Structure 1
Amino acid sequence: MIAAREQLKADINQLVVYTSTQAHSSIEKAARVAGIKPENFHLIEVDADYRMCPELLQQQIVRDIQSGLIPFYIAATVGTTSSHAIDPLTEIGAIAQVHNIWLHVDGAMSGTAAICPEYQWIHQGLELADSYCFNPHKWMLTNFDCTCFYVKDRAKLIHALSIMPEFLKNQASTSGKVINKAIYSTQ
């Protein structure tokens, strides 16, 4: 979310986040950490299968744009914690692309199932996402709190989290060949 926020260089008070009423509370927590105003965090209603309704998402985005706000982040879910509902990624991704909104797909709960060929359909539309995560500790018998996080354009993530004070600059760090993950340097 911070990478999405930083690439816009917009007034943080105008930025809006969208996710479904069934999404994990970590999305709201991330919005708070990123400095998004609580009134700019919009929960989108779901259908009878607990999936985010793309039509309602589109309507809310249009209302927000008309109000002078800036939609910047949508969090869709592949397997909600409460019901394993899978949001319609293709439709949500198309909306995100039309409005130039960062699409994150939270596959923490059920995304791992796509390792099986018969469940790969759950990722239809994932190619439209800017970022994606899933948790191997939930289904892959790894130790607790193992999360895999992918981002389409790592430069945006690295730039958003970079701090390069003078005392850390050296030939290796400024060559562009070494990325010090401790400081997320793009130098």
Structure 2
Amino acid sequence: MTDTTAARRYSLGAMIFHWVIAIAVIVNWRLAENAEHAEAMEDKMAIFADHKALGILILALTLGRLFWRWTHPVPPLPSDLAKWEATLARAVHIIFYVLLIGLPLGGWFANSLAGREIDMFGFFTIPPLPLGENGDLAKSIFGLHATGGSLFIYLIALHILGALKHTFFDKNGGIFRMLPFGKVPG
């Protein structure tokens, strides 16, 4: 890879964080969907336990990714983007970070209000925040959490469509900026 290509491509660490978090978010969305459709309450609670643990793991990975981003240069956006495309790309990325941090914290907050700890896949538990119990507020926050999760999935679809557009129509590197292979033109 040439130096100019490397300057337009994300670092390997950023790529790893991106793809691990992306896969974890999609799996967590499917867990939530599966839990909602589980018939037995025991099954629903077991699936939601994995959803909660994965959410906390996503939060930790996101904080690691933000640290990585602050300590490693981010490649500039392709120069052929229209101003609205660059603005939309930046806005979606900011919203991603807000959701990647806000959804797990909101879920922990709501679980705390419901008096529930979070079991981290049987390795350890995260205790409820010292908030006191408030079932009505917990229910409201869980509703916001679900809405935020749905918004996140729509934004992910938009992000994927944008990456595919830039890769195959604009031919400006698109998805290859976040992969260690493929052509990222100058």
TM-score range for the pair, normalised by the shorter chain length = under 0.3
TM-score by length of 2: 0.26
TM-score by length of 1: 0.26
Higher strand share: 1
